[in-house]
Structure 1
Amino acid sequence: MPSLTLELGLGTSGLDDPEICADTVEAALEAGYRHIDTAQMYGNEAAVGEGLRASDVDREDVVIATKIHHDNLAPEDVRETAHESLERLGLERIDLLYVHWPMGEYDPEETLPAFDALHEAGVTEHIGVSNFTPELFREAREILDAPIAAHQVECHPLFKQPELRELATEFDHHLVGYSPLGRGEILDEPTLVEVAERNGTSTAIVALAWALARNVVPIPKATGDHVTENLAALELELDDADLAAIDGLVDGDRKIDPEAAAWNR
């Protein structure tokens, strides 16, 4: 098993209002979340840290993950901005630090040793990558001294990432799924609706439960009541027929697909 324990987490992309973000993080932690995901790109690291401090949850029980922006992946920028992220978060260490996108200033031979240096210095406890192709993942794994603890990618019932799920099993790391509800665009899919009706739940909970059953760590963005409601996925055990029906869905297009992404080159 990976050395890092990751459970269903709270995604904070799009939580731009500092007060709403801080309140959401605090509510999530009080509801039982122990994994909060942010990024330099999201502009809300300070609010995430505020929400963490406002909660009654022990800091040591929470995994805080953030990501280095692709424009900050030159070695000196990795080091400088990682410390800036630490300061904004108000933490002594980052639990999981990702290379956000392998584009922009990303140079594997230059960027990845800078992440190793941060790991060795205790700035981050674990290293992750995000939006890597299988080929780039294998390359990164060969260059890094530290193990890759997590790979974060888009993953949901209509974009199932079978190759990357197999890679996670092969190399014993977490596959973390962002946009696990397909940005809300998959929630009317007829098969998901049928599975939800059979189980007396919502299509959102079905999508999250599918991810958990397939060893994907989903990190849905949520606010308000949805924060607590999403935790129901931890209690829903889809049967083999339900899982097979979802596995049989034909994948659609990515919901997040920058022109400069590695898979478009």
Structure 2
Amino acid sequence: MARTALITGASAGLGAEYARQLAQRGASLVLVARSHDALEQLASQLRGSYGVEVETLAVDLLKRRERAKVEARLRDRARPIELLINNAGFGLPLAFERNDVELEVSHLKLHVEVPLRLTHAALGAMLERGRGRIVNVASVAGFLPRSTYGACKGWLISFSRWANVQYTPRGVTVTAVCPGFTHTSFHERMGLAPGNEGVPSGLWLDASLVVSESLRDVARGKSVSIPSLRYKILVRLTALLPDAVAARIGQRGR
């Protein structure tokens, strides 16, 4: 799919799974996350298992000077990035009024401002070459009234849909990937195990399925990818519900 892919939030969860599946396909990788040790461990595994080139950038994307290193790498015409995966993110409790507002602002920046900036940085070189793919990892929560997480992901979906229409004629596709509840370390970082989520076991997805299905949709140039049939159906059904009912559904899980 891509000769070189840059993945944010690559040290664990869906980011690491994207790295593994792309390495299996022979792609070179640029892995971005805050943890230097975790990045280097993953990079070593991928080099050893698949013989691919792997760069690492240990940066905090919320810090302007550190994020600038990633933006510069995306703009580097001599070492082009064909695939950008904006995956970095974190979750907060749904009770907005009880959350620290500075955490909420950081949450907003990481889910909205950072992918906006990185997409902008990548587009120039991609449009010059007349090819490229950008993936914004959103969520089915973006289709529901679900506190600020759903709001951020809803923005990402809308932005991706517009950008895909805008730039596909010039060779660059933009896809919002919208997984449902997925077994990754995302929930563990919030201090929760899947059994404490209040979500039926049948709604949990495996990260490998989410990534493989989404990469097929990305290759097809789709603007929105909803991995798994069950979530495709659920998203269509929730669009028909009154806001109050949809919001109650959105309260399930964390």
TM-score under structure 2 length normalisation: 0.43
Normalising by structure 1, report the TM-score: 0.42
